[in-house]
Amino acid sequence: MERIFRSKIFYLLIFMVTLGIVLVFNNDKEPTELTEDEFFTTLEDGKVTFLKVEPQKSVIEISGQLAGYEKDQYFIASVPNSEIWQERMNNAAEGHGIEKIEVTPEAEATSGWVTLFTTTIPFMIVFMLFLVIFLFRVVIKRLDRHR
């Protein structure tokens, strides 16, 4: 009975450590989401200090910092990818002298296979780790029986 209890605690401990590691690495602060109107209002009021513009298919994804934000706090907004919105954004940015505007070119779409492999490989590695630990325990038990 004691062996069963110890082995269950061992696997529970491994699970808790794995869960703790995942939570530590995924503990990012969530960005503030702004609507189009909120974004342009804050931009035209001169409250934006940094902009990062990423054109996507039909929208422009914008991230940046508002005045008074800490270094690791930022906002995100999406506006339609049209000349009217781009002109409005450029005029507001020029009028208030935003310190830094970073424009990244439109990224190519990631292959479905790449997405599949990058999402399943971590789970396969964890499964293989548990399988190897289980097999080592079985082999050790059999060796103990033959002694």
**What does the pLDDT look like over 30-78, one tens digit per residue?**
677 888 888 888 878 877 777 888 887 788 888 887 777 767 677 888 8
CATH topology of domain 31-107: 3.30.720
pLDDT, tens digit (0-9, with 9 covering 90-100), for 100-110: 666 677 667 77
* 3-state SS string for the chain: CHHHHHHHHHHHHHHHHHHHHHHHHCCCCCCEEECHHHHHHHHHCCCEEEEEEEECCCEEEEEEEECCCCCCCCEEEEEECCHHHHHHHHHHHHHHCCCEEEECCCCCCCCHHHHHHHHHHHHHHHHHHHHHHHHHHHHHHHHHHHC
Residue 95 neighbours by CB under 8 Å, 6+ apart:
44, 46
Amino acid at 28: D
Predicted model pTM? 0.47
Residue 96 CA to residue 42 CA, distance in Å, equals 11
Q: What is the share, in percent, of the chain residues with pLDDT greater than 90?
A: 12
Provide the residue ranges of all domains of the chain, joining segments of one domain with +: 31-107
Which residues lie below 8 Å from residue 35, measured CB to CB, with a gap of 6+? 77
Give the pLDDT of residue 125: 95
pLDDT exceeds 90 at position 129: yes
Q: Is the pLDDT of residue 1 over 60?
A: no
